[in-house]
């Protein structure tokens, strides 16, 4: 019996679990995948929105502005990268200029500070690479960027260090409420708690609709992106938006905190809530639309393409708080953009509501977050020499693209809530994030994972489940096949 179960290990679930850890409560977080940040969180635009776009009076508008104001201190406490790089909504025709004024008026109604309209000359002074059709822009000085998966890992680790139990590879197959307690059915057995928090992303409707008469529907909205090599990080300082549409904020161009550049996303409603394929049509759309903002996109320097799913709710707003007809059941559902920005506000608010429902006071102590050592790629020459002298594993570079030494990969595996997959190492140490996308370092990372975890390399995966990297050994491949197998493959010999 736990006091609280949190379903979902994305940024919202991890943030709520971490805030609940401040209270005298026993908390368990259930995540169906092999790691936290494996769903929507790992594949979004990583943008901290100012708050001018959301409908005034909505939960999106309210929590966006509150969360934006909290975000810088939040990241500083957790020692994760954050940059207030500003954002620009660009008008590409004179007819779009009144729309910028409308967005600014909405932003003022939402309480967004630092908004102003700038003319074409000022826009080009700020962003020399902006397309020739640009006529002006709305400047949002509070816009920013972060690393959502690194943030989520830090939040979940901090929760773990303060007593939260985190169960990975634990999908919730059914929920019920009996005698005032909640029962989550999982393949590992039932999990029982006094309160339940639903932060299940695209599956939040499935959880809610098993418990509450206040049903809703979540549609998975797929967005495809492409990423450019770091050499083009200086191309734009601000995040460049085009005018928003009913399907979202449109195709954008933004630098990342690691100085790559992201273009995207598309917006396509799909039925399969696990379909994160990238498509030729999606890539073509991203390039065609983004070319309005950046006509000379260096397409020869894409290093990867990826897709993520947004949890679009038929209520067109976040669903937050305790369900009216199910005491102790709390929703954090329909969390699409600006959900990342709103996360600090949502987490503090919902954790407080849960604590009030359970009459739980705050703990006398709260352990500090786990702080990794300064990355080798960011060290000065003297710092690198000192690191190698203290630990020779710093002198063995595994990932050349991102300058990741063996010492940092070992730390990624050994740390609290350490990596167990190739992608887990990538998101904690950046091995495989660079230009070659793991082409050189993946075999060595697999060797280190195998050694540290005591698992054969053939059992290791890219991201859990059936995503095994290796299908066998050369020795196994060289073994003679049974005659029946030879006949099936046409390999019999006279």
pLDDT in tens, the chain (494 residues): 999 999 999 999 999 999 999 999 999 999 999 999 999 999 999 999 999 999 999 999 999 999 999 999 999 999 999 999 999 999 999 999 999 999 999 999 999 999 999 999 999 999 999 999 999 999 999 999 999 999 999 999 999 999 999 999 999 999 999 999 999 999 999 999 999 999 999 999 999 999 999 999 999 999 999 999 999 999 999 999 998 877 667 899 999 999 999 999 999 999 999 999 999 999 999 999 999 999 999 999 999 999 999 999 999 999 999 999 999 999 999 999 999 999 999 999 999 999 999 999 999 999 999 999 999 999 999 999 999 999 999 999 999 999 999 999 999 999 999 999 999 999 999 999 999 999 999 999 999 999 999 999 999 999 999 999 998 888 887 776 666 555 554 443 33
In a domain, 437, yes or no: yes
Q: Which residues pair with 219 in a beta bridge?
A: 312
60, 153: one domain: yes
pLDDT reported for residue 486: 53
Q: Quick check: 325 and 331 in contact, CB under 8 A? A: no
Residue 494 has a pLDDT of 32
Residue 106: inside a domain:
no
Q: Do residue 24 and residue 58 come from a single domain?
A: yes
* Residue 252 covered by a domain: no
CB distance 38 to 134 below 8 Å: no
One domain for residues 351 and 450: no
- What are φ and ψ of residue 366, in 5° steps? -140, 110
356, 406: one domain? no
Per annotation, catalytic residue among 49, 301, 312, 381: 49
Query: According to the model, what pLDDT value does residue 55 have?
Result: 96
Residue 418 and residue 460 in one domain: yes
Task: Tell me phi and psi for residue 77, to 5 degrees.
Answer: -60, -40
Residues 202 and 320 in one domain: yes
SS3 311: strand
CA distances from 34 to 27, 463, 464, 467 (A): 19, 6, 5, 11
| Contact in structure between 307 and 277 (CB atoms under 8 Å) | yes
Number of domains in the chain: 2
**Gyration radius of the chain's alpha carbons:** 24
Half-sphere exposure of 360 toward its Cβ, with a 13 Å CA cutoff?
A: 23
Q: Strand (E) positions, 208-265? A: 218-228, 239-241, 252-255, 261-264
Terminal Cα-to-Cα distance of the chain (whole angstroms)? 67
Rounded Cα distance between 417 and 164, Å, is 12
Q: Is the dihedral of CA 452, 453, 456, 461 positive or negative?
A: negative
Pair type for strands 82-83 and 144-146: antiparallel
Instruction: Tell me the residue range of the domain where 6 lies.
Output: 1-80+145-217+314-371
Computed from CA positions of residues 255, 258, 260, 266, in that sequence, does the dihedral angle turn out positive or negative? negative
E strand or H helix that includes residue 64: helix 59-78
pLDDT for the residue 493: 37
**pLDDT score of 481:** 63
Q: Give 142-191 as a 3 state SS string.
A: CCEEECHHHHHHHHHHHHHHCCCEEECCCCCCEEEEECCEEEEECCCCCE
User: Is 410 inside any structural domain?
Assistant: yes
Same-domain check for residues 319 and 353: yes
Check whether residue 73 and residue 166 sit in a common domain: yes
Query: What is residue 249's predicted lDDT score, i.e. its pLDDT?
Result: 72
β 27-30/136-140 pair status: unpaired
CATH number, domain with residue 18: 3.50.50.60
| Domain annotation covers residue 125 | no
Closest CA to 463 of 42, 5, 19: 42
Assigned domain for 246 exists: no
**Token duo for residue 301:** 């320097």
Q: Which of 349, 371, 393 is the last residue of a domain?
A: 371
249, part of any domain: no
For residue 182 the two structure tokens come to 């909640």
Phi, psi of 411 (to 5 degrees): -65, -40
- Sign, Cα dihedral of 278, 283, 285, 287: positive
Domain identity same for 341 and 406: no
End residue of a domain, out of 371, 388, 418: 371
**Do 356 and 439 belong to one domain?**
no
Please check whether residues 342 and 434 belong to one and the same domain: no
Distances (CA, A) of 5 to 62, 191, 354: 26, 8, 11
The answer to the question of residue 63 being in a domain is yes
Q: Does 206 share its domain with 160?
A: yes
49 is catalytic: yes
Q: Of 356, 371, 386, which closes a domain?
A: 371
């Amino acid at each position: 019996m736990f006091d609280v179960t949190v379903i979902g290990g994305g940024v919202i679930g991890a943030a709520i679990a971490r805030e609940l850890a401040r209270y005298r409560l026993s908390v368990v977080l259930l995540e169906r995948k092999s790691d936290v940040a494996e769903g929507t969180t790992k594949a979004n635009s990583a943008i901290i929105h100012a708050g001018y776009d959301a409908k005034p009076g909505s939960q999106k508008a309210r929590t966006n502005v509150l969360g934006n104001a909290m975000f810088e201190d939040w990241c500083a406490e957790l020692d994760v990268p954050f940059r207030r790089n500003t954002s620009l909504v660009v008008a590409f025709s004179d007819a779009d200029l009144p729309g910028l004024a409308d967005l600014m008026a909405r932003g003022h109604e939402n309480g967004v500070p630092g908004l102003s309209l700038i003319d074409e000359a000022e826009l080009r002074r700020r962003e020399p690479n902006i397309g020739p059709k640009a006529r002006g822009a709305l400047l949002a000085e509070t816009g920013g960027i972060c690393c959502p998966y690194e943030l989520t890992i830090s939040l979940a680790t901090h929760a773990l260090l303060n007593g939260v139990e985190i169960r990975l590879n634990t999908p919730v197959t059914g929920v019920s409420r009996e005698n005032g307690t909640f029962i989550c059915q999982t393949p590992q057995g039932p999990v029982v708690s006094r309160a339940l928090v639903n932060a299940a992303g695209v599956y939040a409707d499935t959880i809610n609709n098993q418990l509450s008469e206040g049903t809703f529907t979540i549609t998975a909205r797929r967005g495809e992106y492409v990423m450019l090599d770091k050499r083009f990080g200086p191309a734009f300082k601000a995040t460049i938006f085009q005018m928003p549409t009913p399907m979202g904020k449109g195709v954008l161009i933004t630098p990342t905190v690691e100085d790559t550049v992201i273009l995207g996303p598309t917006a396509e409603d799909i039925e399969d809530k696990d379909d994160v394929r990238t498509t030729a049509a999606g890539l073509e759309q991203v390039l065609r639309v983004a070319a309005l903002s950046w006509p000379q996109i260096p397409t020869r320097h894409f290093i990867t393409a990826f897709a993520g799913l947004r949890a679009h709710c038929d209520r067109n707003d976040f669903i937050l708080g305790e369900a009216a007809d199910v005491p102790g059941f709390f929703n954090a559902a329909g969390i699409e953009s600006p959900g990342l920005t709103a996360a600090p506000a949502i987490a503090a608010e919902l954790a407080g509501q849960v604590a009030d429902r359970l009459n739980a006071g705050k703990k006398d102590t709260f352990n500090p977050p786990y702080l990794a050592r300064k990355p080798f790629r960011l060290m000065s020459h003297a710092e690198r020499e000192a690191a190698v002298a203290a630990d020779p594993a710093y002198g063995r570079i595994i990932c050349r693209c991102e300058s990741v030494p063996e010492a940092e990969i070992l730390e990624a595996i050994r740390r609290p809530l350490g990596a167990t997959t190739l992608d887990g190492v990538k998101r904690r140490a950046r091995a495989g994030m660079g230009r070659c996308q793991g082409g050189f370092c993946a075999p060595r990372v697999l060797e280190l994972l195998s050694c540290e975890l005591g698992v054969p390399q053939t059992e290791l995966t890219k991201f859990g489940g059936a995503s095994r990297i290796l299908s066998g050994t050369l020795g196994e491949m060289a073994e003679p096949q049974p005659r029946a197998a030879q006949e099936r493959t046409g390999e019999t010999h006279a």
